[in-house]
Each structure stands twice: as C-alpha cells, then as structure tokens.
Amino acid sequence: MTAVIAGKRVLGHPREIQEVQHAFATYEAMQTRDPGSAEDLLAAHDLLIRALVEQTGR
C-alpha cells in the first residue's frame, strides 16, 4: 500500500492498485469534509469507488 501511494512500481492487479489510490485520495479528502453530512459521505463514496462500479455516490 505504501509503495502504491509513493508512486513506486508494484506487482498487482490494476484494479487492486486503483483501489489503494482511491482509498488514499478519499482519506485525504475527508479531512476537509463534514463526517455528519450525507452529501459529503456520498461524495467520499463516489471518490472511493469511481471507475470500480457503475453507480457511485448513492
């Protein structure tokens, strides 16, 4: 996980690497969001699983 975040080359399925990248971006974004806000929660969900499933942020 740290190698992916650091931008290093890693062996793994591209989907798994994308999941790590999205998780890190979501954690970073949550620092400026309201955890009690449904809108912010849906935005975080969208960021977390974007390009991994068809319907995000719902």
List pLDDT tens digits, range 3-57. 887 888 888 888 888 888 888 899 899 889 998 999 998 888 888 888 777 766 5
**Domain locations in the chain?**
2-49
Burial of 2-35, coded b for 16+ CB within 10 Å and e otherwise, reads eebeeeeeeeeeeeebbbbebbeebeeebeeeee
pTM: 0.70
Note the pLDDT of residue 56. Answer: 62
